[in-house]
């Protein structure tokens, strides 16, 4: 059993893709252990993406992630990190496999609809960044 943090980013929420993203998650058999809608503050977005602080795209990424509400989810299951990243597809929607969320719903390398943790260590940090233990079910 593994947990990962998923985010439906502001582009996905504003385009009306919440239901479609959740359908991908449930079809894959990943369990939703926690879920909350939240409009991130600048500080929350900067702290969340701290590993990218020195990248040229960081200011634009923070501005994008704070332009409207996100849906934050904790997903749970066998090999959940890799399975969720496979459903998302490559960072750049143009390079993502057909049938993936980013390929089907993404706009460009920044506005790519969803986030997923990339390893067990980052998943633990990211789940704890947004959820208290008592908010995670199962």
Query: Quick check: is 115 catalytic?
Result: yes
72, two tokens: 């934050």
Cβ(34)–Cβ(73) below 8 Å? yes
CA distance 94 to 44: 28
Contact between 67 and ligand ATP by CB under 6 A: the answer reads: no
Contact between 57 and ligand ATP by CB under 6 A: the answer reads: yes
Contact with ligand ATP (CB under 6 A) among 115, 123, 126, 131: 115
CA distance 59 to 65: 10
Interacting residue ranges for Mg ion, rule: CB under 5 A: 118
Q: Which residues bind ligand ATP (CB under 6 A)?
A: 52, 57, 61, 91, 109-110, 112, 115-116, 118
Residue positions annotated with a catalytic role: 115
């Amino acid at each position: 059993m593994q947990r990962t943090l998923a985010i439906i980013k502001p582009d996905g929420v504003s385009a009306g893709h919440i239901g479609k993203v959740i359908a991908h998650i449930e079809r894959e058999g990943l369990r939703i252990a926690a879920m909350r809608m939240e409009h991130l503050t600048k500080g929350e977005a900067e702290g969340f993406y701290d590993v990218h602080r020195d990248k040229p795209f960081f200011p634009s990424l923070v501005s994008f992630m704070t332009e409207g509400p996100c849906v934050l989810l904790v997903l749970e299951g066998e090999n959940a990190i890799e399975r969720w990243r496979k459903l998302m597809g490559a960072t750049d929607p143009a390079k993502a496999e057909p049938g993936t969320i980013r390929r089907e719903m993404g706009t460009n390398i920044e506005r790519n609809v969803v986030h997923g943790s990339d390893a067990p260590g980052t998943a633990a940090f990211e789940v704890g960044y947004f959820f208290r233990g008592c908010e995670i079910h199962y």
